[in-house]
Amino acid sequence: MSEIKPWRVLSSRTLYEDPWVRLRGDACETAGGKVLGNYHVLEYRDWSHVVAIDADDRVILVKQYRHGAGIISLELPGGMVDDGDPDPAAAAARELMEETGYRAPSIRHVLTLSPNTATHANRMHVSLAEGVTPAGTQQLDGSEAIEILRVPVAEAVRLAMTGGIQQAMHVAALLAGLNAAGRLKAVLR
């Protein structure tokens, strides 16, 4: 039986806030009695990403500049869950259409993960969309420049396993989505 217990929050205050992120500082006491002052927690909206597979068994990936890492990044389509989204899968469908112009006949939630359990309060939701087809044009916001790639499933897994996809959450999401679609076992043989 585990003796690990949650920390007790003694006080909490907002250190910074804008429409995208809130930084919180918590004073906490561990189960062992140690007091930690100003433990930083990042609060973002939940994120929703989609593993989108077309009829040719290709994964739809997006390539875009990511300023935090200073790199051109290969990723899954996705973004923030908006207040108007009824659920994370609907957010994933919306983001898929906005970023790629692709639509799915159906989309289902596969998994919810934590971006970083030590510092992030939000969640990242993974959805699976199979049989996606082009249905329109990209609807990008002013900060986005996105290239769309259709990558064979086996190549997408290779990219995830060799650093071609740098975003760790997207590697996990891709593998979970392909597993849910029954396509991962055949690739890993």
For range 96-124, the mean pLDDT: 97
For the entire predicted model, the pTM comes to: 0.92
| pLDDT of 111 above 80 | yes
For range 102-131, the mean pLDDT: 97
For range 164-169, the mean pLDDT: 96
CB atoms inside a 10 Å sphere around CB 115: 16
For range 104-119, the mean pLDDT: 96
Torsion of CA 48, 54, 57, 60, to 10 degrees: -50
Q: What is the pLDDT of residue 104?
A: 93
Domains annotated for the chain, with CATH where assigned, are 8-43 (no CATH), 47-188 (3.90.79.10)
Farthest CA pair distance, the chain: 58
What ranges in the chain are assigned the alpha helix state H? 88-100, 153-162, 168-180, 184-188
CB atoms inside a 10 Å sphere around CB 92: 32
For range 50-61, the mean pLDDT: 98
Q: For residue 6, what is the DSSP state?
A: P
Token pair 């207040």 is found at 83
Q: What is the pLDDT of residue 187?
A: 63
Cβ pair 65, 147 in contact under 8 A: no
Share of the chain above pLDDT 70, in %: 97
Q: Which residues pair with 152 in a beta bridge?
A: 58
Q: What is the pLDDT of residue 185?
A: 75
Dihedral of alpha carbons 102, 108, 111, 117, sign: positive
Tokens of 31: 């189960």
Q: What is the pLDDT of residue 186?
A: 62
pLDDT in tens, 68-106: 999 999 999 999 999 999 999 999 999 999 999 999 999
pLDDT in tens, 151-166: 999 999 999 999 999 9
